[in-house]
Chain A
Amino acid sequence: DAMVIQNPRYQVTQFGKPVTLSCSQTLNHNVMYWYQQKSSQAPKLLFHYYDKDFNNEADTPDNFQSRRPNTSFCFLDIRSPGLGDAAMYLCATSRGGTDTQYFGPGTRLTVL
């Protein structure tokens, strides 16, 4: 089945220790998104790729970076995680334009 896969589902890291979250898709969608979601809040868009075109949200901290080496994969790098970065990180894809977004199951990040 075509889908959006996120690994790992749960990630524990230490304060300041770099961490990478991964997302892959079998939908062959042009657009991939990374969201941060904290408890009982709406998803907050960090950035998105339209093909190789990277679009950063103005309020996304420099601590967050992303890579999209090919259509199928996208990575979220957190260079120096702080306690405030503990959250659910959601990857989503879409064909673009006004289309539906398809979400992965998320990665729950804990920062000790």
Chain B
Amino acid sequence: SQQGEEDPQALSIQEGENATMNCSYKTSINNLQWYRQNSGRGLVHLILIRSNEREKHSGRLRVTLDTSKKSSSLLITASRAADTASYFCATENNAGNNRKLIWGLGTSLAVNP
């Protein structure tokens, strides 16, 4: 089942610009994760933010989490053509002994050289 909704569905920017993707979810969470998927490949974990954290950085990535609004954003600064990929948010809900991730629909990012 999918509970995350991401916007925009597709984003096209020029190299060097910043890219912002948003994710909303419906139920309370333990954490929220962002993954990246290059075309025709597996997913790669980017960053995990816990429910008691509000902001996290990793290199050119900045993730924020607002649990009151049930939303998160992923910012990629100074984008490069190699950042072209699909980006998915995923939440691990805290319903009992659940070990599943609930996936968003993804944002397709195109960075033009």
Interface, chain A (partner B; CB < 8 A): 4, 6, 31, 40-43, 45, 48, 50, 55, 88, 90, 92, 94, 96-98, 100-106, 108
Contacts and interface: CB of A to CB of B under 8 A. Distances in A.
A42 B40 contact: no
Nearest to B31: A98
Chain B interface category by residue count? 20 to 34
Contacts of A104: 42
A41 B105 contact: yes
Contacts of A97: 99
B48 interface: yes
B30 A98 contact: yes
Nearest to A105: B42
Contact of A43 (B40, B44, B103): B103
18 contacts: A4-B42, A40-B106, A42-B106, A43-B43, A43-B88, A55-B99, A88-B40, A90-B42, A96-B99, A97-B99, A98-B50, A100-B33, A100-B45, A100-B48, A101-B45, A103-B43, A103-B44, A106-B41
Main SS of the interface on chain B? strand
Given A94-B99, A108-B40, A42 B45 contact: no
Given A42-B88, A42-B104, A100-B48, A48 B41 contact: no
Nearest to B45: A100
A100 B35 CA distance: 10
Given A4-B42, A48-B99, A92-B42, 9 more contacts: A45-B100, A98-B50, A100-B33, A100-B45, A100-B48, A101-B43, A101-B90, A103-B44, A104-B42
Contacts of B31: 98
B39 to A, nearest CB: 10
Please indicate which of the listed interface residues A4, A100, A108 has the most CB atoms of chain B within 10 Å of its own CB.
A100
A59 to B, nearest CB: 8
B92 A98 contact: yes
Contacts of A98: 30-31, 50, 92
A40 B106 CA distance: 8
